[in-house]
């Protein structure tokens, strides 16, 4: 299809303008993160990252985030594989109702659950624990994961399970030896998305850690912003440190991000 | 956590069953040979499905369904977060009607919908149409760059934009440089611009997601259709309205649901940039939930706002999807 030169030029102008808009804040923060901190002269200040790391205690908050992400991603994936398997390949009474109950979970905002969770877990003495930060996010991710993996398992040819049955496989072996390996791309997509959501989560982590000892990375940055308002260079360096894991993951696994975010939410 | 998008799990799913109908019979169930009473070819016991389902359901019910019910219960009481509580029926809801902060939150959310949903939809459609017509070098790079804001933690986004909007930040420097220095101000601190400033961040976040949704819709349009239109002498504008727009109706619905909900739930950004201020000028329902529960210690009122927010989200899901279906 031929496109006129004038139109091609206009297309580039539009794309470049919006690409510039998309990149401007990213470049601003990158530039600020290596700019001169308070009381120092210009030039490139790569040591900002090391200073932000110690001053902001990011080693600790990144560690907390890693623990929470590991719990949420592993637990949500294993549990969703089970529920997705049951709802995607088995017939039983109440399957439809249960499916809709899980679907409902994709619409429940954290704002609604976080208040009772905080007060109830406080009564049980469980606030300021990894479980308090992770389990509400596991529940959210199970709603998505069940929906996502049910669709995946359901789309697999039924001959796979029949062949497994002929080989004498039980339900567990058929799942772990056949369905899961054959669903690796869909499972990777889920891992990637759940990791990103957990890493970036703010409200749940904020409410569940009133003591501040288990601050996750985004909370660490929020606290840092509150304490060192005028240290823009260090603040920007901290922000870059926290954004890096998801951005790198995105650049390498772009296909999974895009597929999951488009199909997962679009169905 | 998502888009929520970037933050927040995907909050959509009214079109319950996936679009793919592979492997399904007329009744919508998996097309598998029936063996009396057996859940599946490999699962013989009737208990099997429940054993696989139960662990997930238990965690989900305990940490999502049950708290939602508790929030509904809390909303009927007056409680300061400790000590005794008083049953007040629907008073907390009735009070919201005359509550200035709550009304501001709803009003602000409506304005933010323009920035989070309507503008990104227009921008996303145009960008996707431009990319789809191809003959653009570096299409992949443009796609990646414009989608990037979706994956950055909102806290980081807030830090970046606070610097841009600061009285000595790059936006004011730019205005100065082009002779518009008179317009310079602290964009997030000025009541007349704070909400718009937050809204622009929303546009920045959501446009990439909408663009990709539209691109995936447009990829289903057969190339011949465009060629036929070309032969009939249709220009890019006519082509857009005659071919592209009708083909992406479904994606427009999905995009609107996701982005409208993101506008209502923009907690992280508001908390980090303006704390709802100046005054109530940038507060949103999700910020009101947090502020009431943990700063004002009005747990009942906060729960009422949370339940209203949840109902709104359900209604938007169902409502926008219904409209989308009727239009097509």
Segment B167-181, tens digit of pLDDT: 988 999 999 999 898
B239 found inside a domain: yes
Q: What are phi and psi of B78, to 5 degrees?
A: -105, 125
Does the structure show a pLDDT above 60 at B229? yes
Please tell me whether the peptide bond between B278 and the residue prior to it is cis, using omega within 30 degrees of 0: yes
Chain A nearest CA to B32, separation (Å): 6
At B15 the pLDDT is 38
A30 found inside a domain: no
- CB-based burial of residue A118 (10 Å sphere; 0-12 exposed, 13-18 middle, 19+ buried)? buried
Residue contact A246–B49, C-beta within 8 A: no
A39 found inside a domain: no
Q: ipTM of the assembly?
A: 0.92
How many domains does chain A contain in total? Answer: 1
Cβ contacts below 8 Å, chain A against chain B, sum to: 374
At A28 the pLDDT is 94
DSSP chain A: ----HHHHHHHHHHHHHHHHHHHHHHHHHHHHHTSPPTT--SS--THHHHHHHHHTTHHHHHHHHHHHHHHHHHHHHHHHHHHHHHHHH---TTHHHHHHHHHHHTT--HHHHHHHHHHHHHHTT-TTSHHHHHHHHHHHHHHHHHHHHHHHHHTS-HHHHHHHHHTT--HHHIIIIIIHHHTHHHHHHHHHHHHHHHHH--HHHHHH-TTSTT--HHHHHHHHHHH-TT-HHHHHHHHHHHHHHHHHHHHHSHHHHHHIIIIIHH-
Residue contact A115–B302, C-beta within 8 A: yes
Q: What is the pLDDT of residues B11-42, one digit of tens each?
A: 333 333 333 434 444 444 554 444 557 888 88
A185 found inside a domain: yes
Residue contact A100–B16, C-beta within 8 A: yes
Among B35, B39, B68, CA closest to B51: B39
Handedness of CA A114, B8, B305, A222 (dihedral sign): positive
d(C-alpha B4, C-alpha B149), whole Å = 11
B76 found inside a domain: no
Chain A nearest CA to B100, separation (Å): 20
B212 found inside a domain: yes
Residue with tokens 């909050």: B11
Contacts of B209 in chain A (CB under 8 A): 261
Q: What is the pLDDT of residues B256-304, one digit of tens each?
A: 988 998 898 889 999 999 999 899 999 999 999 999 999 999 999 999 9
Q: Is A100 near chain B, with CB under 8 Å?
A: yes
* b/e map B204-236, b = 16+ CB within 10 Å: bbbbbbbbbbbbbbbeeeeeeebeebeeeebee
Q: Is A121 near chain B, with CB under 8 Å?
A: no
Contacts of A140 in chain B (CB under 8 A): 1, 9, 64
Among A242, A212, A33, A206, CA closest to B268: A206
Q: Is A56 near chain B, with CB under 8 Å?
A: no
CB of B142 closer than 8 Å to CB of A19: yes
Tell me the sheet residues that pair with B77.
Answer: B87
A101 found inside a domain: yes
A187 found inside a domain: yes
Residue with tokens 């109950």: A101
Tokens of A58: 């990011």
Q: What is the pLDDT of residues B189-205, one digit of tens each?
A: 999 999 999 999 999 99
User: Torsion-angle region of residue A45: left (phi > 0), alpha (psi -120 to 50) or beta?
Assistant: beta
A234 found inside a domain: no
- CATH, residue B115: 1.10.3720.10
Q: What is the pLDDT of residues B121-140, one digit of tens each?
A: 999 999 998 888 766 778 88
Contacts of A14 in chain B (CB under 8 A): 126-127, 130
Q: Digits of tens for pLDDT over chain A (267 positions)?
A: 566 788 888 889 999 999 999 999 999 999 999 988 887 887 888 999 999 999 888 999 999 999 999 999 999 999 999 999 999 999 999 999 999 999 999 889 999 999 999 999 999 999 999 999 999 999 999 999 999 999 999 999 988 899 998 988 889 999 999 999 999 999 999 999 999 999 999 999 999 999 988 999 999 999 999 888 778 899 999 999 999 999 999 999 988 888 777 776 544
B78, containing H or E segment? strand B77-78
Partner residue opposite A1 with nearest CB, options B74, B226, B310: B226
B212, containing H or E segment? helix B194-218
- CATH, residue A138: 1.10.3720.10
Q: What are phi and psi of B139, to 5 degrees?
A: -55, -45
Among B251, B217, B237, B239, CA closest to B327: B251
A211-250 residues touching B, CB cutoff 8 A: 217-219, 221-222, 225, 232, 235-236, 238-240, 242-243, 246-247, 249-250
- What 3-state class would DSSP assign to B77? strand
Tokens of B140: 């992949």
A68 found inside a domain: yes
At A1 the pLDDT is 52
Residue contact A142–B268, C-beta within 8 A: no
B149 alpha carbon, distance to own chain's centre = 14
d(C-alpha B161, C-alpha A236), whole Å = 11
Q: Which domain range does residue A65 map to?
A: 58-216+242-266
Torsion of CA B126, A259, B5, B167, to 10 degrees: -60
Tokens of B280: 């109530």
Tell me the sheet residues that pair with B3.
Answer: B6
Among chain B residues, the shortest Cα distance to A152 is held by B18
Q: Which domain range does residue B207 map to?
A: 107-280
How many domains does chain B contain in total? Answer: 1
d(C-alpha B60, C-alpha A138), whole Å = 8
DSSP state of B219: T
B149 found inside a domain: yes
B132 found inside a domain: yes
d(C-alpha B196, C-alpha B111), whole Å = 8
d(C-alpha B255, C-alpha B120), whole Å = 9
Q: Is A86 near chain B, with CB under 8 Å?
A: yes
Tell me the sheet residues that pair with B6.
Answer: B3
DSSP B85-136: -EE-TTHHHHHHHT-HHHHHHHHHHHHHHIIIIIHHHHHHHHHHHHHHT---
């Amino acid at each position: 299809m031929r496109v006129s030169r004038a139109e091609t030029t206009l297309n580039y102008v539009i794309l470049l303008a919006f690409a510039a808009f998309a990149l401007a804040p990213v470049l601003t923060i990158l530039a600020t993160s290596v700019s001169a901190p308070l009381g120092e002269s210009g030039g490139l200040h790569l040591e900002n990252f090391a200073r932000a790391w110690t001053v902001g205690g990011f080693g600790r908050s990144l560690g907390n985030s890693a623990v929470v992400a590991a719990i949420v991603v592993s637990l949500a994936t294993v549990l969703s594989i089970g529920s997705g398997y049951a709802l995607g390949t088995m017939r039983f009474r109440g399957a439809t109702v249960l499916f809709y109950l899980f679907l409902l979970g994709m619409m429940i905002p954290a704002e609604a659950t976080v208040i009772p969770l905080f007060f109830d877990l406080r009564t049980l003495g469980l606030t300021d624990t990894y479980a308090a930060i992770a389990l509400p996010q596991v529940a959210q991710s199970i709603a998505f994961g069940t929906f996502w993996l049910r669709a995946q398992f359901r789309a697999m040819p039924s001959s796979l399970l029949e062949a497994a049955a002929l080989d004498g496989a039980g339900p567990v072996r058929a799942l772990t030896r056949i369905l899961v390996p054959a669903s690796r791309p869909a499972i990777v997509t889920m891992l990637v998305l759940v990791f990103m959501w957990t890493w970036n989560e703010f409200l749940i982590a904020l409410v569940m850690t009133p003591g501040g000892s288990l601050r996750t990375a985004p909370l660490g940055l929020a606290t840092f912003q509150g304490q060192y308002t005028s240290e823009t260079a260090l603040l920007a360096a901290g922000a870059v440190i926290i954004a890096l894991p998801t951005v790198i993951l995105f650049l390498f696994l772009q296909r999974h991000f895009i597929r999951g975010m488009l199909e997962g939410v679009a169905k | 956590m998502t888009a929520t998008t970037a933050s927040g799990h995907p909050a959509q799913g009214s079109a319950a069953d996936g679009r793919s109908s592979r492997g399904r019979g007329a009744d919508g169930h998996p097309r598998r040979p029936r063996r009396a009473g057996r859940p599946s070819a490999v699962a013989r016991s009737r208990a099997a499905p429940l054993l696989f389902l139960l662990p997930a359901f238990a965690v989900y019910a305990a940490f999502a369904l049950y708290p939602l019910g508790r929030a509904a219960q809390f909303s009927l009481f007056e409680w300061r977060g400790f000590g005794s509580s008083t049953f007040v029926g629907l008073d907390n809801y009735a009070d919201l009607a005359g509550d200035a902060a709550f009304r501001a939150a709803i009003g602000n959310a409506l304005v933010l919908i323009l920035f989070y949903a309507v503008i990104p939809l227009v921008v996303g459609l145009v960008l996707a149409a431009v990319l789809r017509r191809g003959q653009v070098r570096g299409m992949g790079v443009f796609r990646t760059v414009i989608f990037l804001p979706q994956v950055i933690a909102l806290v980081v986004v807030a830090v970046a934009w606070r610097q841009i909007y600061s009285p000595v930040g790059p936006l004011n420097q730019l205005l100065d440089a082009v002779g518009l220095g008179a317009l310079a101000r602290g964009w997030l601190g000025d009541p007349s611009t704070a909400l718009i400033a937050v809204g622009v961040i929303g546009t920045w976040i959501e446009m990439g997601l909408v663009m990709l949704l539209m691109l995936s819709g447009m990829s289903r349009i057969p190339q011949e259709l465009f060629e036929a239109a070309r032969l009939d002498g249709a220009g890019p504008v006519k082509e857009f309205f005659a071919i592209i727009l009708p083909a992406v109706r479904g994606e427009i619905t999905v995009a609107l649901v996701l982005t409208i909900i993101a506008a209502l739930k923009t907690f992280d950004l508001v908390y980090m940039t303006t704390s709802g201020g100046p005054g109530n000028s940038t507060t949103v329902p999700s910020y009101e939930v947090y502020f009431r529960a943990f700063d004002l210690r009005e747990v009942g009122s906060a729960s009422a706002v949370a339940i209203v927010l949840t109902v709104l989200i359900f209604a938007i899901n169902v409502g926008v999807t219904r409209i989308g279906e009727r239009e097509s």
